[in-house]
Chains A and B, each alone.
Chain A
Amino acid sequence: MVSTRRLQLFVLAYLASALSSAVCVSEAGSHLVVIPQSPVLQIGTNFTATCVIINTTEVTADDLYWRFRQTVIPSNQYTKINESALSVTIPVNNEESEWLYCYCKNKSPYVFVNQGKFVHGIHLSKAYPPEKPKNLTCIAIQDGKYISKNLMCSWDPAEHNVKKKPTTYTLHVEVIHNNQAYNVSTEENSATVTMESFPFHMDLEIWVVAHNELGTVESEHLKREANWFAKTNPPSDVKVISEETFPMSFLITWKEPIPKQMIALKYQIRYCPHGSHSWFVVPIVDFAKGTQSFRLQNLQPHTVYTTQVRCKHFNKGYGYWSDWSANVTKKTAEYRPTSKPDLWSIITEGEHSNERQVKFICKNPVLSNGKITSFKMKIQTQKENMMTRNMSWEIIPVNDPDADNSPSQKFTVLKQITLLDNMTARVHVTAINSAGESPQTSLGIPEEALDLDPMEGLKVHTQGDQFLLKWNAPNNTAITQYVVEWVSANDTDWQRENKSTQQTTIKGNIKKYICYNISVYPIYSGWTGKPARVEAYLAQNAPSVGPSIQLNGKRGRNEVELVWNVIPPPARNGFITNYTVFYSSGTEPVSITVPGNVTSYLLTSLSANTQYEAWIRASTIGGSTNGTRHTFNTLKYAPGEIEMIVVGVSLGFLFVVLLSMLLCFYKKDVIKNNLWPWIPNPRKSTIGNWSPDYPLKPETPKENCLSGISVLDVDTSDGKSLSEEDKTSLALKKDKYLSEEHSSGIGGSSCMSSPRQSVSDSDEGADIADTTASTVQYSSVVASNGYKGQTPSAQPQPLIFSRSESTQPLLDSEENPDLSVQEGGGASQPFSRLPCFTHSSWNQDSGSFPEVEPQEVLLPRDSCPSGEDNEQKTLTDGQSLSSYRPQLGGYRPQ
């Protein structure tokens, strides 16, 4: 060890002295030299550099120091070789290129002044040594009729590689015995060698040389026959032949992709039912060398298979498998059904109470081996073990044999019969295809009343996307199998389980949110027993639609009954667990939850005459859905309340009326006297002995005797109309006039006639004068102060003399004022409806239009309204107010 160290120091010293002369020139006077120059270091090792002092004695090795990575290397890493050489050892632990410097301390002024001569550095490049290429593999693929002359080889990439110092790989390929050698270099881990031609059957020796600045290393040599590396195309022209005489086999033929003189091939076949991805691979041992056909056996008749073939060098371990050939799809020939059809029945209630409707349905045999074109069916019925009826075999064609693989066409409806409850039926069915007939299957329908240990304890659980059924086996050893039936709104299906089964999963396509009615039937030697049934959902969801709501009956004042429809089964999506009734009058909704079997609810405590909004939420365990909102108003009154008010009011009114009537009845005289004062009947009046010359015997008129009309003599001298302001004064005047007793002459009208007219000398009243001349003139004093109303004056009035123009004799009452007015009330018409002409009527002569319609007023007979009515009359100039008018009612010719 010591000698080795000495030898090393000696060599370094020698090198330093040897270099000193050469470097002296090149370094232009530098007194330090580091060796080795620009080395490539192996990462992971230690590197030793030596700094040598040349051409000076100013410094010694003790004055030197090293700097690396911006720091001074500790002196413990130094080795003093001699007085003029100092080495340092550093670890090479990264890939980065770096500089290593040798410095000298400023020992003397010379060194200080010539610092540039007392420093030297070297550049350290680093790399990994080349790694031995591993897992060398080569391949030559087929190109046209031959294998390509390009041989592509690859090997594992090196674990360590420095980009600045990459490793170069040289791929060598040598054709043994032929002295042909090829090589190609690359920095990747794969390369392709192009040869003159692919050397079939010749031995190749292949290796890779890895090289970089740290060395060279070779891979292991592959010495293989060239065919070892060949990969051919897949077999071409693959044909699959189906033969009717061999319905369970295929004959497969193909052509070799390359002449056997180049590569002797072996083949591999795989096949699978069409649509399946589970391949069956034919063992290679079944192939003879160079075979180009094969017969696949043990296939299912009438089944579509997909077949592929590939090839490889025949010798074991040689070459690569080719890719699989393209799919070839072919169907095997038909064969007679080799399994029984699956017969089942659907029993429903008949039209009558003692019968059943039995529908026989049948699935195709599992091994139908062809298209089932028809079923052959025979039914045997028996009534109370007495009479047996055998029907003949019946052929039931399958309508659409092409749809036998359709998922929606799971079974064929064979026949539907009506079966009495006390009858049994036994059905035998075979399936027929073009190649033959299947074995026979049978099904028995027992009497309705026959109780064959019904199933019990059926429970349904969900297991993933399937139903898991569990049931208890009846204590009956005669059970031969079970039939599990599941029925939904749009689907009916069943499956059979053997007699030892007490737990199974439904193998059909079960959908979520669909209600399935699941039944397990025990089968007793072909006779169907009583099933156990359960309704189940695979998964539940919120109903698709909510219930629609409406009111039941009439609305109330404080209560309303809501009814809602049952959600249709397809929209339920689960079992309805409850309904929640919401109602609101614009405030926070009130909710009430009711069970799922309730479809109505009576809302109470509602406010009268209020608008409410109500809706129903249907809930399943999978969620809830609100129904449509319904708005309604509560009534202002409760039903019957209005009727009660009306009846009450009516009764009250009736009571008042009756009370009034009674009052009137008992107080009629008072009322009569107040309302209808007694008026003497003029018709019944008689004229006493009266003549103008006859002195008037004044009689004291009785009060309230209104038989005459006071005469209003209006002073027309001024010709002015009477104004309202003058009414009062007019009334006073009227009284005055009346008191002056302007009496008309005989034959004149006493009713509102002017004095001038009353003497019958009027120019305008010729006819009147004639009429007057033919009448019996009479007059009487009827009132003292004129009639102003029907209220008798309590005070005695001065006597008024009035002359009547009536031709009627005076009433007796006039002579006998004690007579009642009522005696001639009806005929005498003490009051009559007379048109009372206003002054406009009188103004017709003056050409003025009437301004007021004629009015009907109640006037006493032979009288006109006096007072205010008369005051409204307008008197024109030159015309005297004439109060005369024909006596239309009160005058009657004698």
Chain B
Amino acid sequence: MADRRSGVTGPPEQGRTTAARAAAIAELLLLEISNLLDLYSKRESLTADVIAEDSRLVSVPPPSSQLDTADKLWRLHAALLQCRGLMERAIAKENEEMGSGTGEYETQRKMVKERLTFLINITGELVKAVDGPAAVTPSLSDSLEPDNLTLFELKLWVFRVFTEVNYWAKTAVTILQALPKERVRNTRYRSTRSTRR
């Protein structure tokens, strides 16, 4: 019986660094969530001024210049996890209220969620890579629970969710693009080493 795995082609990280790819994903997420916001605004005839800019759905420690890279990544990772939770619940609520569709909005919404997942995963790798804190379990505020909302309130809540994702996408772009340009070692090996530790 031949060996099942004959080997891996080339070096594990031949292309861009994980941080660079994470930054690119964040940029793409920002583009997609922006498109989704445009689609939603046009669809629901909502404008950005219907919600307060400083009202946050994601609850994470406040930013500080004293935070190091690992902490920033951890904070970002935690926020993104909460964003994905919000997205999932918003999608579920919308499907529950208005049914699931296959139009451009729904496709874009699905892609944002998937891109967000990608970003979360690669950010988690970065957190591991820099020996950051352990991944946190997202904990959403009970006040943000969209249960018992009217339809308009639901629309506003969904709009806030998308806006929140858009905000954290921007934040992710900022944080990830600010990471050191040096090539990050293979996250698998790093994670293996971390596991041994």
Contacts and interface: CB of A to CB of B under 8 A. Distances in A.
Chains A and B belong together in one complex: yes
Interface of A: 129-130, 132, 175-179, 196-197, 199-203, 205, 207, 209, 215-225, 228, 259, 261-262, 264, 315, 318
By CB atoms of chain A within 10 A, which of B4, B6, B15, B25 has the most? B15
B14 A261 contact: no
B94 to A, nearest CB: 19
Determine the main DSSP class of B at the interface with A. Answer: helix
B6 A197 contact: no
A225 B114 contact: no
Contacts of B9: 220-223
A197 B114 contact: yes
B1 interface: yes
A506 to B, nearest CB: 58
A264 B187 CA distance: 24
B6 A217 contact: yes
Given A216-B1, A216-B2, A200 B14 contact: no
Nearest to A318: B15
Nearest to B191: A177
Contacts of A216: 1-2, 4
29 contacts: A129-B2, A130-B2, A177-B125, A178-B118, A196-B114, A197-B114, A199-B118, A200-B28, A200-B115, A201-B21, A205-B8, A207-B5, A215-B1, A216-B2, A217-B2, A217-B3, A218-B3, A218-B5, A218-B6, A220-B6, A220-B9, A223-B12, A224-B15, A225-B15, A225-B21, A228-B15, A259-B31, A261-B27, A318-B15
A203 B118 CA distance: 10
Given A130-B2, A218-B4, A220-B9, A197 B15 contact: no
By CB atoms of chain B within 10 A, which of A129, A132, A219, A223 has the most? A223
A225 B21 CA distance: 9
B16 interface: yes
Contacts of A209: 4
Contacts of A205: 8
A177 B24 contact: no
Contacts of A225: 15-16, 21
B171 interface: no
A220 B15 contact: no
A209 to B, nearest CB: 8
Interface of B: 1-10, 12, 14-16, 21-22, 24-25, 27-28, 30-31, 110-111, 114-115, 117-118, 121-122, 124-125, 187-188
Contacts of B22: 201
Contacts of A222: 9
Contacts of A178: 117-118, 121
A197 B111 contact: yes
A131 to B, nearest CB: 10
Contacts of B1: 215-216
Contacts of B121: 177-179
Contact of A200 (B3, B24, B187): B24
A215 B7 contact: no
B50 to A, nearest CB: 27
Shortest 4 CB-CB contacts between residues of A and residues of B:
A201-B24, A261-B28, A261-B31, A220-B9
A202 B24 CA distance: 10
Contacts of A218: 3-6
A616 B12 CA distance: 90
Nearest to B34: A261
Contacts of B30: 261
A315 B114 contact: no
A209 B121 CA distance: 27
B2 to A, nearest CB: 4
Contacts of B24: 200-201, 261, 264
Given A177-B122, A261-B31, A315-B16, A202 B21 contact: yes
Given A177-B121, A177-B187, A259-B31, A200 B25 contact: yes
Contacts of A217: 2-3, 6
A128 to B, nearest CB: 13
A132 B28 contact: no
B28 A262 contact: yes
Nearest to A202: B118
Contacts of A129: 2
Contacts of B25: 200-202
B133 to A, nearest CB: 19
Contacts of A177: 118, 121-122, 124-125, 187
A167 to B, nearest CB: 12
Contacts of A199: 118
Contacts of A196: 114
A219 B30 CA distance: 37
Given A178-B117, A201-B24, 5 more contacts: A203-B21, A217-B3, A221-B7, A261-B27, A315-B15
Contacts of A220: 6-9
A224 B14 contact: yes
Contacts of B2: 129-130, 215-217
Contacts of A200: 24-25, 28, 115
A146 B88 CA distance: 23
Contacts of A315: 15-16
A179 B3 CA distance: 23
Contacts of B124: 177
B48 to A, nearest CB: 21
Nearest to B15: A225
Given A220-B9, A224-B15, A202 B4 contact: no
A220 B6 CA distance: 6
Contact of B122 (A202, A223, A224, A261): A202
A201 B6 contact: no
Nearest to A259: B31
A127 to B, nearest CB: 14
A751 B122 CA distance: 177
Nearest to A176: B188
A223 B8 contact: yes
A228 B13 CA distance: 13
A176 B14 CA distance: 14
Nearest to A206: B9
Contacts of B8: 205, 220-221, 223
A867 to B, nearest CB: 153
Nearest to B27: A261
A699 B21 CA distance: 185
A132 to B, nearest CB: 6
Contacts of A219: 6
A199 to B, nearest CB: 6
B191 to A, nearest CB: 10
A221 B16 contact: no
Contacts of B27: 261
Nearest to B8: A221
B4 to A, nearest CB: 6
Nearest to A221: B8
By CB atoms of chain B within 10 A, which of A130, A215, A218 has the most? A218
A200 B30 CA distance: 13
Nearest to A196: B114
A175 B125 CA distance: 14
A219 to B, nearest CB: 7
A219 B8 CA distance: 9
Contacts of A259: 28, 31
Contacts of A223: 8-10, 12, 14
A259 B111 CA distance: 15
By CB atoms of chain B within 10 A, which of A177, A178, A217, A220 has the most? A177
Contacts of A228: 15
A156 to B, nearest CB: 15
B171 to A, nearest CB: 16
Contacts of B110: 197
Nearest to A260: B27
A224 B11 CA distance: 10
Contacts of B122: 177, 202
A199 B115 CA distance: 8
Nearest to A179: B121
A221 B5 contact: yes
A222 B15 CA distance: 12
